[in-house]
Amino acid sequence: GESSFKENNWVFTGGKGEQKPYPLTEPKIGDIILARTGNTKARGVGIVYRNDYSSGEEIDLESNRIHVFWLCKKDVDADACFPRQGLSYAGKDTVSAFSRCYPETFELLSYWSGDKLANHSTDSRNIILFGPPGTGKTYSTTRKCVEICDGNANEKDENHLRDRFRELRDEDERIEFVTFHQSYSYEEFVEGLRPNTEVNSSGGFSLDPTPGVLKRIADRARLSDRPYVLVIDEINRASISKVLGELVTLLEEDKREGADNEVSVTLPYSKAFTLPSNLYILGTMNTADRSIALFDTALRRRFEFVEMPPEPERLREVDGVDLSTVLETINDRLEYLIDRDHLVGHAWFMGCGNLGQVGNVMRNKIIPLLAEYFYDDWNKVRAVLGGGDHFVTRKTLSPPPGLEEDGGEDRYRWTVNKPPYSKEAYEDLIKPPSKLESSE
């Protein structure tokens, strides 16, 4: 036990006959171990160089070990309480407490690991990704969830990221995903009454308190030190103040469970409730639906807003058409005619390999979005697309009999042309407007 730890370069947990499902096989070579005894004493910081448990053999807590190279091995009384959970992932508060116990060691670790630990300890717990449609908010959300849960997502390709996201959501149950809408309510998000018809055999029913999505994941996170993430898609579509109710206060990091200014609220149908410090809330919002300026003021103070702007520089040339310039030109005109909240993202063009695919994106994604932006003012749609007849055409409609001399404005039938569109169509789109020369 104690003497073995002091004399050797290994760590262990539990003891003879221990049956707790600690994730003993998960520490890999290069992982950082934060050793502690009880919930207040830090013992040291080390790096794993061998894990006896990873062989797949039956776990023997008496002989198997996680072998570490100690960067610092010194007993320090921590100024915070650690969770009593044997081997577990270090959450934000645990990392912060250890960094205060061993500041010089953590400076060295941050330098070696590219600030992996530092980033994990300073990430905001409440984040909203915002931007116009097609800027990759869904992909960025997936990546951010994996990054929060695993500490790093830089080495994972897109398919690996999606697989890991599904694993964290479906198997580990560390990610919950919900989409807000106009009728979304407090009862669905926090807690409400649901009918229970299994009370007796007489056909009656009772109304029982039922936890909503936030309370469910908060209760799971409270039992662990590992990070959990609640993803709220289209967070600006619901009435935020009605959905969150009194829980708005709990979102602040210094009001979370275990923080200096911890606050608890009493839920309508159950008991006192706090928001655990290892629960992250990640929201997304389309600025085309609602400007960030209109977002609830109380919520704006409690969230970190990360803009997801269009990135035309990420697009390449396809069959001689410079997609980067095409997108940049469209967005310049949109910002002039409307504002920077109503632009077009780059993500829709990312997978295009020929003009046929580019044309499908233009017809099925871009042009309908432009029509929505301009409330079916097709003259402006055509102006954004270069002003010609390559993408949309119009035909003058004849007035009904008897109204020929009415003197009203001409009426048009607008038609979206079928792709593929020619290379010249895109060249005309990006062509600057001609300027009339004036003479003295």
Residue 199: its pLDDT value, please? Answer: 59
- In this predicted structure, the answer to whether residue 122 has a pLDDT above a threshold of 90 is no
Average pLDDT over residues 350-359: 95
Residue 115 scores a pLDDT above 50: no
Number of structural domains found in the chain: 3
The residue among 291, 307, 323 that closes a domain is: 307
Mean pLDDT of the chain: 84
- DSSP character string of 37-81: ETTTEEEEEEEEEEEGGGG-SPP-TTT--EEEEEEEEEEEE-SSP
Do residue 26 and residue 63 come from a single domain? yes
* Dist. CA 177–CA 169, nearest whole Å: 8
- Nearest to 288, CA basis, from 374, 385, 377, 346: 374
Q: Is the pTM of this model over 0.75?
A: no
Predicted pLDDT at 10: 79
- How many CB atoms within 10 Å of residue 58? 7
Q: Which of 315, 378, 384, 310 is nearest to 130 (CA)?
A: 310
Q: What percent of the chain has pLDDT over 90?
A: 41
Q: In the predicted model, what is the mean pLDDT of residues 162-184? A: 92
- Phi, psi angle pair for 41, to nearest 5°: -110, 120
380 and 374 Cβ atoms separated by less than 8 Å: yes
Instruction: Report the pLDDT averaged over residues 282-307.
Output: 81
Q: Which residues contact 394 (CB under 8 A, 6 or more apart)?
A: 378, 382, 412, 413, 414, 415
Calculate the dihedral angle through the C-alpha atoms of 28, 29, 31, 34, rounding to the nearest 10 degrees: 90
Nearest of 320, 321, 342 to residue 331 by alpha carbon: 342
Question: What integer pLDDT is reported at residue 298 of this predicted model?
Answer: 74
Which of 90, 116, 142 marks a domain boundary?
A: 116
In a domain, 440, yes or no: no
The pLDDT tens digits of the residues spanning 50-101 come to 888 765 555 565 567 888 988 888 899 887 777 666 677 777 678 888 888 8
Query: For strand 32-37 and strand 41-51, is the pairing parallel, antiparallel, or unpaired?
Result: antiparallel
Same domain, 248 and 340: no
Q: Is the pLDDT of residue 440 over 50?
A: no
The CATH number of whichever domain residue 271 belongs to comes to: 3.40.50.300
| Domain endpoint, select from 307, 322, 348 | 307
Domain span holding position 36? 2-116
pLDDT bucket at 117, cuts 50 / 70 / 90: very low
pLDDT at 339: 92
Which residues are registered as beta bridge partners of 195? 207
Judgement on whether residues 160 and 274 belong to the same structural domain of the protein: yes
pLDDT digits (tens, 9 = 90+) for 237-248: 888 888 988 888
Average pLDDT of the segment spanning 313-342: 95
Quote the pLDDT of residue 59.
Answer: 56
**Do the Cβ atoms of 345 and 134 come closer than 8 Å?**
yes
Q: In angstroms, how far is CA 134 from the centroid of its own chain?
A: 15
Tokens standing for 147? Answer: 């990054």
